[in-house]
Amino acid sequence: MLIGIPKEIKTNENRVGLTPESVHEVVHHGHTVIVETGAGLGIGKTDDDYLNAGASIVDTASEVFAKAEMIVKVKEPQKIEYEQLRADQILFTYLHLSPDPAQTQGLMDSGCIAVAYETVTNPHGGLPLLAPMSEVAGRMATQVGAYHLQKLNGGLGALLGAVPGVEASKVVVLGGGVAGLNATKMAVGLGAEVVVLDRNVERLRYLDDVFNGRVKTIFSTAHAVEQHCTTADLVIGTVLIPGANAPKLITNAILQKMKKGAVIVDVAIDQGGCTDVSKPTTHAQPTFVANDVVVYCVANMPGGVPLTSTFALNNATLPFVLSIADKGIKQALLQDEHLLNGLNVCQGKMTCQAVAQAQNIAFTDAKEAATAL
């Protein structure tokens, strides 16, 4: 199979779909890889690194889209990219379609076969291709939250961790999944007072055991969210419904009661965000102020640490890239129910039920669509 790696063009996105090391493995399996010039510079990898791994270098993204049978990316295709996709071409990347009807329509109009990293599953009910970026984003959330709590950055002027004789800052983590766990690890390590809210009692029991009582675990209700967010210095929103829009847990009413200079880091922004005011921001301009609260909504947080993120992501995606390339997309999908769960768009059909419901469009069963390929 001919696999193409274009340079990412989303604002401040420095990750790349495949590292040279991954390219070497793909070539070892007998496939051909073309890479847009400069695609790896954000992680310190040159065109020569890709050439030495067995890839060919092309001058433009349009050459990649025109020639490749499968496009491997990191972030969702921008308009100029999805307009270049063609019928039966495979796209393998993060999509986050629920809050993005324009991209959804563009992918459906192209006739491509789009597999989303974020809805691929594993036998344990996890999301293995989302997990490494959730780990990064969760850890970053505590870092950037601590930074923006500084007075000069718009925050209330509090140090996240305690010093003798002064109360520690209160960090509230909404969602105890992978991102929430990693945000909590960082906050506990810095000495903050940490409260984690989740609706899964078994997950709360697990977190209580992991942190040995160092964090408060609270069953999430509307009352509990309001109670803890309105007394928090930093709120980290990590709630996730796979493939669907994130629930709006932090309402305008709650925002109005929060501390002046408190900080919200909305890790759920890729799925529309978990506050009433959430809107995507960039690493260049990461925050805005709403009701005197600093809100951070960078939609590609792991792009801020592309070296770590790219290698972590490739560790998870490479086996699936090889499966699709070795077997062909139809056989790969039909032999692996977990990869099949990643199929979001197939030859003009919407095959992710959560997206179909969010956008009120027709849904086609993924196995039915894959069987018809």
Catalytic residue chosen out of the listed positions 100, 198, 233, 270: 270
Burial of 44 (0-12, 13-18, 19+ CB in 10 A): exposed
Closest listed residue to residue 100, CA positions, set 335, 361, 286, 292? 361
Catalytic residue among 31, 49, 96, 228: 96
| Catalytic residue list contains 47 | no
What residues contact residue 227 under an 8 Å CB cut-off, 6+ apart? none
Burial 273-311, CB ≥16 within 10 A → b, else e: bbbebbeebebeebbeebeebbbbbbbbbbbbbbebbbe
Q: CA 181, 187, 189 angle in degrees (round to 5)? A: 100
Q: Is 96 a catalytic residue?
A: yes
Closest Cα partner for 356 from 97, 94, 30, 64?
97
Helices (H), strands (E): how many in the chain? 15, 15
Q: What distance in Å separates the CA atoms of residue 55 and residue 20, rounded to the nearest whole number? A: 8
Strands in 170-174's sheet, in edge-to-edge order, are 216-219, 193-198, 170-174, 234-237, 263-266, 293-296, 287-290
Q: Enumerate the active-site residues.
A: 96, 270
